[in-house]
Structure 1
Amino acid sequence: EALMYPMYSYKGNSPLHRDDIEGIQYLYGSKPGPKPTLPEPDTPSTTSYPETTDDPFATTPSTKDPENDACKVLKFDTITVIEGDLHFFKNGHYWKDVLTKKIYFFSGTRFWVYTGKSVLGPRSIEKLGLPNSVQKVEGALQKGSSKVLLFSGEDFWRLDVKTQKIDRGYPKPTEVVFGGVPNDAHDVFQYKGNTYFCRDRFYWRMNSRRQVDRVGYVNYDLLKCA
């Protein structure tokens, strides 16, 4: 199935909205098998990692089944935020427009739009004004109420949500605007006021002043894997 790891985060009092769940299941299918169970207590590991402060992430248990264990994934296709919670995806990407409440799903060179009642698509990402050289949207950052930054390779484009067209003057090199992060990040997302750029097992956290203030491991810091 396309979607393997829909939720590995502490949910608190803001569960994923039913419309979001139905949209994901419509496109990718629901996750088969029983619900994951908590692991048995293990002997503490002797491996230690540097202690950090200002940790915004909650501890997340992993499942015993290696095939369904997010901690065994070396590279996620997408890490994004829905309703304030982190979600980790394999073979799929989407973002929710805060203005229209539509959910945009990206997979390869195609995208779908879920309105809450129906799914439109698939459509080619060229319809958004992206060149045919773009084979995959790596990340999407909402900017204000009507703009979205789409990342692919070493460049990014600014999409006008209202017109569904790329603004003039784009693409721009990622390193010019977001200095200090990897140019070929495969996951880009915003969480609690910071922007995260991920490459392989690592992430770079950029604050509101566009300064990289933290570099760490995705599995250890974001997923809290042991």
Structure 2
Amino acid sequence: MNIIHFITFFVTNIFVIADEFDSNKFLLDYGYLKGDNVSLTDEKGVKDAVRLFQESFRLPVNGELNSKTIAFMREPRCGIPDILPYAVSRIIWRKQELKWHYQRATAEKMKLASIAFDEWAKHTSLSFKHDYYGYDILISDKYGIHTCAKNDNVRCSSRFDGPGGVLVHAFSPNTANTPIEIHIDEEDNWNFDPEGKEEKGKTNLLSTFMHEIGHTLGVRHSFNKDSLMYPLLNKRSNLSEDDILAIQSLYGSKAMTTTAKPDQTTKSTTVPGTSEVITDVCAIKEDDKNKIHYLLVNGKVYVIFQKQLWIINIANSSKYDSKNYYRPLEITDRLKFLSLDTFKGIDAIYQRPNGEIVLIENHNLFMFNLNTQQLVIGYPKNACSHFNIGHPCTINGIVNTYTGKTYVIYNEDFVGEIDECSFTVARTDLVSNLFPGIPADIDGVARFNNGLLYFFKSRNYYEYNEFFQKVIRFGTKDHELFGLLCYSNSILKEFTEFISKFHVYPKKEV
């Protein structure tokens, strides 16, 4: 079920006297009172709700509806409740680039929208791009009772009431990541200053844009009055530290992308009756069907691609010792319990805390001893049935983290926490909740000895710090992340290989 928060900015008439202000309705609308008749008639319950409001906005807490408290209630503000009546999962965008468009906007409005998106982009791994047709966020001017901009046959669930009423409303991200909208009341008196300067009698559109964009990204309200996401409308034209921490908790910090490396020289042999087999691990090229998987055990990197396995010692290797980069094994020769005829490539692999290796291939779950390559009694099993995560299922990745927990990521955006004692899924959640900033439908995940997790999707990596719970780097997937020496400079590589000819290595079985 998609959970959508509807967001509005509400401006009350400042000349209405206190007796005409429906404080109970306000407390009910914004979550301070429960939605039942008992709460509305219970004097103590109302006083407690007023105290909660006063505490939230740092007013003297006495439970009395004095003039100062009512004045705060009637301030221009966002219409989403301050206190949600139930817990909801935090839903975010599962993509790094978001596209937006302001429908039939003037040049000055387009400029303000661009400035507002750019401000959020400064502090997060997200990027924003204007696109007339392929948008994720659509902005439009509306008035009165209106329809959605994308579909004129769908009536908007809120209405505008002319100058001084509801200023703007928007939707939060949904689980399907389908386009959402921001509606602007064109009858309100807007200030279009691009630097956010105040203009008497007008509402600054730039700060309003920035607040609403925060909600379209999944950011909730902050009770820090200096925050752009403060419930009451403010005049900020940039993000506060509080806002920056909030957006980075969802999507990580500014992306530190790496430069894609030029093509490597491929050393390959041809197997009769089959396509060309790559023997140089540095020459592997992924596609949508064939993915690279990594396993790091005891200073060695196990690189698995299609039916090939490279075992590379990175613990004690010098940068000239690259002989194993060109010596792949047939994975079914190393792991004889796998069938060469039916093997199509693995879905996930990791090492359990007890040292056993878990490998999932075509929904088959294998558990084995790495030294003896012997299966644990009772395996293989069907992974979907064993973990009770639906049948059929799609296993996206599995990893044991540095915090000692094991997670299986499945069916695009779900995570199951595995109890290693019973080796069953103890609880489930969304990827966006357990790993903020990681997109759904990943291709794989691995843990490295630098204390970080690496999630992979579409030949990109997301470097994740599980202790700070955020993405700290994003870029093109590269063997060098795991200590492999695949030089981007071809001249340097050729020189390295030339030097290696002068070194004599003792023969050693892999």
Structure-1-length-normalised TM-score: 0.62
CA deviation after TM superposition for structure 1 residue 81, in Å: 2.1
Provide the identity percentage. 16
Query: Once superposed, what is the RMSD of the aligned Cα atoms?
Result: 2.8
Distance 1:80 1:166 in 2: 22
SS of the residue corresponding to residue 441 of structure 2 reads: coil
| Residue 439 (structure 2) aligns with | 182
**Higher-Rg member (1/2):** 2
CA deviation after TM superposition for structure 1 residue 219, in Å: 3.0
Name the structure, 1 or 2, with higher relative contact order (CA <8 Å, separation 6+): 1
Is the Cα–Cα contact under 8 Å of residues 150 and 158 in structure 1 kept in the other structure?
Answer: yes
- Give 1:79's aligned amino acid: Y
Deviations 1:120-156 (Å, cap 9, x if unpaired)?
Answer: 4221111233321413x22222146974101122111
**What does residue range 133-148 of structure 1 map to in structure 2 within 5 Å?**
133-135=392-394, 137-143=395-401, 147-148=405-406
- Residue ranges of structure 1 left out of the alignment (5+ in a row): 1-48, 51-60
- Give 1:210's aligned amino acid: Q
Is the Cα–Cα contact under 8 Å of residues 402 and 451 in structure 2 kept in the other structure?
Answer: no
- Residue ranges of structure 2 left out of the alignment (5+ in a row): 1-257, 269-275, 306-344, 489-510
| Residue 294 (structure 2) aligns with | 79
| Residue 16 (structure 1) aligns with | none
Structure-2-length-normalised TM-score: 0.30
**What does residue range 144-183 of structure 1 map to in structure 2 within 5 Å?**
147-152=405-410, 153-168=412-427, 170=428, 172-183=429-440
Is the Cα–Cα contact under 8 Å of residues 401 and 447 in structure 2 kept in the other structure?
Answer: no
Is the Cα–Cα contact under 8 Å of residues 349 and 399 in structure 2 kept in the other structure?
Answer: no
SS of the residue corresponding to residue 209 of structure 1 reads: coil
CA 1:143–1:64 in structure 2 vs 1: closer, same or farther (change >3 Å)? Answer: closer
Distance 2:265 2:351 in 1: 27
Given the alignment of the two structures, is residue 64 of structure 1 paired with residue 319 of structure 2, yes or no? Answer: no
Is the Cα–Cα contact under 8 Å of residues 203 and 217 in structure 1 kept in the other structure?
Answer: yes
CA 1:144–1:217 in structure 2 vs 1: closer, same or farther (change >3 Å)? Answer: closer
| Residue 88 (structure 1) aligns with | 303
Q: Which moved more, 1:68-77 or 1:148-157?
A: 68-77
CA deviation after TM superposition for structure 1 residue 184, in Å: 1.4
- Give 2:277's aligned amino acid: E
- Give 2:469's aligned amino acid: R
- Give 2:444's aligned amino acid: D
SS of the residue corresponding to residue 67 of structure 1 reads: strand
Distance 1:200 1:185 in 2: 8
Q: Which has the higher strand share?
A: 1
**What does residue range 1-226 of structure 1 map to in structure 2 within 5 Å?**
64-65=267-268, 67-68=277-278, 69-70=280-281, 71-75=283-287, 76-90=291-305, 91-92=345-346, 93-99=348-354, 101-115=355-369, 117=372, 118-120=374-376, 121-125=379-383, 126-135=385-394, 137-143=395-401, 147-152=405-410, 153-168=412-427, 170=428, 172-191=429-448, 192-207=450-465, 208-219=467-478, 221-222=480-481, 224=486, 226=488
Is the Cα–Cα contact under 8 Å of residues 415 and 431 in structure 2 kept in the other structure?
Answer: yes
Aligned length: 165
